[in-house]
Amino acid sequence: MNLKSILPFSHDLLTRLILPGDTVVDATIGNGHDTAFLANLVGVNGHVFGFDIQQEAIEATTQLLTEKHVADQATLLRESHANMIELLPQQTEIKAAIFNLGYLPGGDKTITTLADSTIKAIEAALSLLTIGGIVILVIYHGHPEGQTEKSAVLRYTEALPQEQFHVLEYRFINQRNNPPFVIAIEKRKIKRLRQNSR
């Protein structure tokens, strides 16, 4: 297939953006695949902060990072991503953040990301984002809470001011069974209007 599927599309955006030494966030570490991917991109002088409320996710990600020899490049927090600002070091600026919304693959499907905390976490990530940085939302909505969360996230992102953010939606529109899709938000440099002197 010549069109990139959802996860390769997301990773392509991150690969083109993130440089060694950058600081980034994996807002929903799950089984750790995005965390490890990000740790490779930021290198030994960069850092990944990862969030998940489930101990199972922390343990799986720790194991994967250790196996890939990138554990020193990541800090894993068993906390809600909604508390991102309070938990990251002061004056932290991030180049990118990725969210995989839904439930832990292979885990308890009754434990899902929730609309209110997700919106709070997106707001936090956008406030920490450097100019030109990107927040990626991979939205899995094939379950009841996922439908509620999808609607809330779309309302929020569609209302972001275009003077401050570019917002892209990437999805396949002819696939069955509520396929996941991506929202990518890029922080723009705000242009200040010059006042004409008289």
Q: Is the dihedral of CA 96, 169, 166, 161 positive or negative?
A: negative
Residue 49, beta-bridge partner list: 25, 75
* Greater model confidence, 140 or 99: 99
Residue 79 lies in a domain: yes
Cα 21 off chain centre by:
18
10-28 burial: b if 16+ Cβ within 10 Å, else e: bbebbeebbeeebbbbbbb
Residue 82 lies in a domain: yes
Residue 198 lies in a domain: no
Phi, psi of 59 (to 5 degrees): -65, -45
Instruction: Give the separation between CA 144 and CA 134, rounded to whole angstroms.
Output: 28
Mean local confidence (pLDDT), 50-60 = 94
Residue 194 lies in a domain: no
Residue 1 lies in a domain: no
Write down the pTM of the prediction.
Answer: 0.91
pLDDT of residue 108: 65
- Measured CA distances, 70 to 31, 33, 74, 97, 133 (Å): 15, 12, 7, 18, 23
Among 31-35, 70-74, 145-149, the range scoring the smallest mean pLDDT is 145-149
Residue 197 lies in a domain: no
> Per-residue pLDDT tens for 143-171?
777 788 888 999 999 999 999 999 999 99
Q: What is the CATH number of the domain that holds 12?
A: 3.40.50.150
Structural domain of 98: 6-187
Instruction: Give the chain's domain count.
Output: 1
Q: Is the pLDDT of residue 194 over 60?
A: no
pLDDT of residue 115: 83
Residue 196 lies in a domain: no
Average pLDDT, the chain: 90
Return all residues near 2 (Cβ < 8 A) that are at least 6 apart.
none
Residue 102 lies in a domain: yes
pLDDT of residue 149: 86
